[in-house]
Amino acid sequence: MKITILASGSKGNATHLEIGSLRVLIDCGISLRQIQTRMIEQGQSLDRLDAVFLTHEHVDHVFGLAAVAHKFKMPIYMTEGTMRNLSRKISEGLDSQSIRIIRPGDVIQLDSVLVKPLPAFHDALEPCGYKFVESGKSLVYLTDTGYYPQAAFDAIRNADIYVIEANHDPEMLLDSDRPWMLKRRILDDEGHLSNEDSAFLIASVLGEKTQKIFLAHRSQECNTKEKSLEVYQKVFSEQGLIFADYHVECAEQDVPMPMTEV
């Protein structure tokens, strides 16, 4: 299982995953050219793509979708709500025969890989996260969610890799010049996970298999890498976890992350 986070943040999101015999993208929120360039920067090539999995319809997750779909002619997995709420500009660039409708609770088998859509809670129409499982290893991808219910913890427990939202520091957000309605939207249960919410969630579900934790979708105005890591270290300590035992790293908006393999 090899993961390369190409972009993560409010200006665009895309992650390349090589798992088993498959090569897939999670979201296409940057241009095809940028996806290809960032892959090359990490010593990889995008000569084929077997599927795209969308989390939701917001532009920072679908901006480059039509161009990617035109080039690779691959299946695109999304919920019915995401499909219904795609902008006309995006949806008109897709072949309807390529769309695969999914919902949380489904299990999708692609060769040796199991893909399990996860519930997410965001101000989009039926957003989701994903769990990918292959040869006893698993990756959980969960961004753009205001909270995650304890009843669903077992579905994401003890993954090898987590890509988890750590969007904002609440004090920085409240002190920012953003309009009050936007602040409320972000802080809402259908907004974004704060550093602390993210850390408590991961501390509750990680396990002995967990090797890597990527903190994703960080606000450039209302958060910093230092604050995210400081909060994670504090919460882990409070929960009796040794922070240094886990490789916690912040994903970037403009710079692709080095490929990680487990």
108 pLDDT band (50/70/90 cuts)? very high
Residue-range definition of the domain harbouring residue 23? 2-261
Q: How many domains does the chain have?
A: 1
CATH code assigned at 119: 3.60.15.10
Q: What is the pLDDT of residue 183?
A: 93
Mean pLDDT of all residues in 104-120: 96
d(CA 173, CA 194): 10
Q: Residue 94: left (phi > 0), alpha (psi -120 to 50), or beta?
A: beta
Share of the chain above pLDDT 90, in %: 96
Q: What is the pLDDT of residue 203?
A: 98
Which 3 state secondary structure label does DSSP give 213? strand
d(CA 257, CA 262): 15
| Lookup result for tokens 């809670």 | 121
Instruction: Please name the residue ranges forming H helices in 42-156.
Output: 59-62, 65-72, 80-85, 88-91
Mean pLDDT of all residues in 175-189: 91
The tens digit of pLDDT for each residue in 136-172 reads 999 999 999 999 999 999 999 999 999 999 999 999 9
The tens digit of pLDDT for each residue in 51-86 reads 999 999 999 999 999 999 999 999 999 999 999 999
Q: List 118's β-bridge partners, or say none.
A: 129
Q: What is the pLDDT of residue 41?
A: 94
d(CA 181, CA 188): 10
d(CA 97, CA 139): 28
Res. 116: pLDDT tops 90: yes
Global pTM?
A: 0.96
Q: What is the pLDDT of residue 185?
A: 87
Structure tokens at 48: 């084929």
The tens digit of pLDDT for each residue in 5-52 reads 999 999 999 999 999 999 999 999 999 999 999 999 999 989 999 999
Closest to 206 in 3D by CA, of 161, 165, 144: 161
Q: Please report, as a single letter, which amino acid is at residue 102.
A: I
d(CA 162, CA 193): 14
Q: What is the pLDDT of residue 102?
A: 98
Res. 190: pLDDT tops 90: no
Q: What is the pLDDT of residue 215?
A: 98
Closest to 12 in 3D by CA, of 1, 33, 27: 27
243 pLDDT band (50/70/90 cuts)? very high
Summary mean pLDDT of the chain:
96
Say if residue 151 is exposed, middle or buried (CB neighbours under 10 Å; 0-12, 13-18, 19+): exposed
Residue 104: Cβ within 10 Å count: 17
